[in-house]
Structure 1
């Protein structure tokens, strides 16, 4: 699906205007974000020509022209939201259903443009080719997107053209930031805007520990056992992905360049569930709650990158994170899309990074690498979950195949425990 196809797929027609579908932490409904002035009585929301059932009355912001409408649950929404600022001049896309396109085989329209300014929860953008007000009538309530890493992120909802003088309304649109809609949700105690799978790890348990071994049957009993452990942890009220996202925020992300929105990636939370299962095995715990997380935070952390670059390129970021987050002998388990990842960094990889850090003026101003702090750094462990899977499960599938289910889990524990300790 192209970027344009993605943003079009979430665009809806709301009475005389437009709107955008976003997911909520509920299996019962989804949200439509729109400008309040386009909503009619009765409310009619159409998606791809199909009318959606409306749930209750719309929720309106007390100060701004924006509203949230509950509609029947839409299972195919994977909308990403950008809540940060954009530099002036950043490229944007704006999508909606102009009246001029009604009845055509292309009822929507996409404009491109640039961000101009953002203040007091209002965003102003300049559209390319300066379309007139008549050209975009019907697009009020449409979504304004920024593109990051080739993916569209919903940044605002258009409400009107910016100029007060009707004769000057060419190409400048005024939009409400996502903060306005967050305020509606908070004031009305509604479910948060986030992918539904963030509501509970039970939505992700079928995706964990897929072992593509040369003989899958050899590790099938292990996979089932790990799945049972995951189900048990979930049943014991393991914190939901959304709760963990709020708890850790960017501490889950590998490097400063990782987009904030990565914390909503489904793959991150599938990997986190695997991390939680591994931790429960290594620590012989059967409940993951706030007390356990408190005990874990200075010992072992999970970090994720959405890049499929070699994870060893980011050892410097990992070491810096470890210095901030871990006590001596702590470990960071990494995951990323890199399928052929090395399980552990080599001793030379670590030393090269330490030498590079030690040579920087900023580091010398804080502490020397051969100080006591530097000695602590050398006790940290770093490992890649896919690399561990490849080396400790897939490469050893025959050993697992010769063992019973209970023995397989003991083998798994021994290998993972040894590998993480040897990674320091």
Structure 2
């Protein structure tokens, strides 16, 4: 685990009363969530039916900053609880409900009882291994011995597994194996599905609880200012002028009736992903930034005024965007692209690729036909993909990387967008339209 990743996990690991918890985003701007266990916040530890009032629960972050609890919800079947907290901006988190297998390696974070003597409790990370799995959860075995005083206080801490280059939250620890005078390197954990069930069953102020997703999925407007970074530009004034022009175009088209990232995620699901990509990649920020950039470019090229569901359906027939969370050169997973679900794309349509890599790729488009990349069309599909998706060989189609297209049409033509030291937005729009049309038509 890198230092950066460790810091991110530590910063979202919080103290909940005498236990621990995990701070995660909710798909709303009104609150975030803390995932914990119900016995941390019971009025009587032995009675799971009565939880403390929100104002009586103390939650604090790694640096001691307190969080205000707005509401409390408990599971009716598991030792799990959900706290609504305000006054904090929480970054996205990858989580999964079914990505746990026997003997998997994992990490577990919490605040042990023997590290609570100071003003601010100290966090600890435990290396562990998945040692048992059942319907509602799993057990972890710590890689080093842990006595009772070390383990007390970590209940409610998060368990993380490394998948596809991402640290995935897969469960919350809730109980020790054994008695107080026995060793305690076996711990019980509840699945993330317990928290999804709490969210599905409850409301806050008569409104359904928000999904356990980052708030940017609510509206493409939340992503607009991060589009078209154009980091390779030499002249920063030209860079900013072009970014502003493209973003203003998007802002003008993104009316309240436009589809949201979440609605598209619900509608298309795994069909948005390159074959073999885990489902949690659907909440990657880069995926939805790429969708927004494709919309803006397509609105230019197609000369349309309205971005709605009908336009999205038509667009996917001509330019099908597929995402991979890989940070490698996209040409390394061309065969997975060929095995992806291309249903609905016209024979002369473009397969548009984006992946979780900063900057443009070395190659913008593949010179190999997609159908010639399929070396074994009979291999079984990834079980995480849509089981209803037909498995058949891809037909010949052009494959283009979206970031490479931006580099060809904007970054490598930087000097074309300034005439005699001046930038004209209307002229730039025409130049951008012509550049993308020519590049797409190749």
TM-score by length of 2: 0.83
For the structure 1 residues 279 and 236, does the alpha-carbon distance in structure 2 shift closer, same or farther, using more than 3 Å as the test? farther
Equivalents in 2 of 1:194, 1:50: separation in Å? 23
CA deviations 1:387-414 (Å, max 9, x no partner) are 1122111222232223742232222222
Query: Which of 254, 265, 284 is the aligned partner of 1:245?
Result: 265
Which residue, 375, 378, 382 being the options, matches 1:362?
Answer: 378
Aligned-CA RMSD value: 2.5
Q: 2:253 aligns with which of 223, 233, 236?
A: 233
Q: Is 14-23 or 167-176 further displaced after alignment?
A: 167-176
Tell whether 2:148 aligns with 1:133: yes
1:290 maps to which of 309, 319, 325 = 309
Matched residue, 1:49 = 64
Answer with 151-160 or 176-185: which moved more.
151-160
1:65 aligns with 2:85: no
CA distance in 1: counterparts of 2:127 and 2:377, whole angstroms: 44
Alignment partners' CA distance in 1, 2:148 and 2:238: 65
Count of aligned pairs: 404
Does the 8 Å CA contact 1:343/1:388 hold for their aligned counterparts?
no
- 2:293 alignment counterpart: 274
TM-score after normalising by structure 1: 0.87
| Residue ranges of structure 1 left out of the alignment (5+ in a row) | 364-372
Structure 1 position 231, deviation (Å): 0.9
Distance 1:219 1:171, change over 3 A: closer
Q: Residue 377 of structure 1: SS of its match in structure 2?
A: coil
Residue aligning to 2:412 = 395
| Structure 1 pair 155–362 and aligned structure 2 pair: CA distance change class (3 A) | closer
C-alpha spacing 1:418/1:297, structure 2 compared with 1 (3 Å): same
Tell me the equivalent position of 1:35.
37
**Selected match of 1:111 from 99, 109, 126:** 126
How far off is 1:191 after superposition?
A: 0.6
2:105 equivalent to 1:91:
yes
SS of residue paired to 2:410? helix
- Residue 317 of structure 2: SS of its match in structure 1? coil
The one-character-per-residue Cα deviations of 1:157-181 (angstroms, maximum 9, x if unpaired) are 1111245x66656321111111000
Q: CA deviation at 1:247?
A: 2.3
Cα deviation code 1:62-113 (max 9, x no counterpart): 1111110111132143332123322211111111112111124762222111
Shift of 1:14: 1.0
Change (3 A) 1:24 1:76: closer
> What is the alpha-carbon distance in structure 2 between the residues aligned to residue 387 and residue 130 of structure 1?
51
2:186 is aligned to: 172
SS of the counterpart of 1:273?
helix
What does 1:214-229 align with in structure 2 at a 5 Å threshold? 214-218=234-238, 220-229=240-249
Q: Name 1:195's counterpart in structure 2.
A: 214
The residue aligned with 1:370 is none
Q: Which moved more, 1:148-157 or 1:36-45?
A: 148-157
Q: Which 10-residue stretch deviates more, 242-251 or 178-187?
A: 242-251
Cα separation, partners in 2 of 1:117 and 1:327, compared to 1, 3 Å: farther
Q: Which runs of 5+ in 2 are unaligned?
A: 43-51, 203-207, 380-391
- 1:30-81 deviation per Cα after TM superposition (whole angstroms, max 9, x unaligned): 111110011154211111222211113x111111111101111321433321
Between stretches 14-23 and 39-48, larger displacement belongs to: 39-48
Aligned twin of 1:23? 25
Residue number in structure 2 paired with 1:369: none
- Output the CA distance in 2 between the equivalents of 1:245 and 1:113: 33
Q: In structure 2, do the counterparts of structure 1 residues 362 and 62 end up closer, same or farther at CA, with 3 Å as the change threshold? A: closer
Instruction: Kindly indicate whether residue 178 of structure 2 is the aligned counterpart of residue 158 of structure 1.
Output: no
Match of 2:10 among 2, 5, 8: 8
Q: Do the aligned residues in 1 keep the contact of 2:20 with 2:156 (CA within 8 Å)?
A: yes
Contact residue 19 and residue 33 of structure 1 kept, 8 A: yes
